[in-house]
Structure 1
Amino acid sequence: MRIGEVADAAGLPAQTIRFYERRGLLPSPRRGPNGYREYDASVLTQLAFIRSGQAAGLTLVELAGILDLRRDGAVPCAHVDELLRTKLGVVHERQRELVLLEQEIEGLLGRSGRLDPADCTDSTICHILVPDS
């Protein structure tokens, strides 16, 4: 398959596929006599893996590490499990931060409802965000 066919089949721009190649996520394809990239069907599986990993929050660096383990003959499942557990911890922490942010914004909106815009001065910029002195 040529890069356009791979791009269509994977639902990705050809530029993304070239980027993945430059980053080492995909092996360099063989070149035909005309110099065009020629891919085998396995690239679609690799692209699906990359997209799935990204959807789970894994970075391209993390995905490259997983792919390197597999290329070296190792089964990367334990490593992937560890990465996902770490990501889940980050998600839980972010959820806690978002709850606090939600409370802060709700408090500011409540403050906004109690304040008169006519009382807002140039020195406070916006008295919704500036606590009473």
Structure 2
Amino acid sequence: MGAVADVELLKIGAVAQRSGVPVKTIRFYCDEGLLQPASRSEGRYRLFDHSVFAELALIRNLRAMDLPLSAVHGVLSARRSGVCTCADLQATIRGKLGEIQSRIEDLQTLESDLQTMLASWQSCGGR
């Protein structure tokens, strides 16, 4: 266990409480290979070091971009190995940014249309 023994390890419940990510989700991420416990207790509980919080934040951000789990796995694997996939990730982020900007424009148009509709109803006096 060596270096791991010198680091405070947290059970899954403590990780869930501190991160706000449900235990069930953390288990799912482990089962899918996205998260890797640092160790297991004698009772076979998953134990995590503090790097799990950065990984959970990254997973949340990547999933918020609607990236499939396989892509999230690739980013995490590359990050752990030190192999840079910046160009691919930047291209994905640029694409998602474009989608979000388009959605914002659509929502702003809808907002304007609704405000116009509401104003015309208010001026009719309820008749």
TM-score when normalising by structure 1: 0.67
State the alpha-carbon separation in 2 of the partners of residues 12 and 22 from structure 1: 15
- Alignment coverage as a number of residue pairs: 116
1:76 is the counterpart of 2:70 = no
1:49 is the counterpart of 2:65 = no
Identical counterparts, % of pairs: 35
- Higher RCO (C-alpha under 8 Å, 6+ residues apart): 2
1:13 is the counterpart of 2:22 = yes
SS in 2 for 1:92: helix
SS in 2 for 1:38: strand
State the alpha-carbon separation in 1 of the partners of residues 51 and 119 from structure 2: 56
Q: In the alignment, what sits opposite 2:66?
A: 59
State the alpha-carbon separation in 2 of the partners of residues 84 and 33 from structure 1: 42
State the alpha-carbon separation in 2 of the partners of residues 102 and 10 from structure 1: 35
Offset of residue 29 of structure 1: 5.8
Contact (CA 8 Å) 2:37, 2:47: kept in 1 or not? no
Q: In the alignment, what sits opposite 1:129?
A: none
1:1-133 superposed matches below 5 A? 1-27=10-36, 30-54=39-63, 57-59=64-66, 61=68, 62-70=71-79, 74-118=83-127
Q: Which has the larger radius of gyration?
A: 1
Letter in 1 for 2:26: I
CA change 1:102–1:45 in 2 (3 A) is closer
Structure 2 unaligned segments of length 5 or more: list them: 1-9
Query: Could you say what the CA RMSD is over the residues aligned between the two structures, in angstroms?
Result: 2.6
State the alpha-carbon separation in 1 of the partners of residues 120 and 60 from structure 2: 43
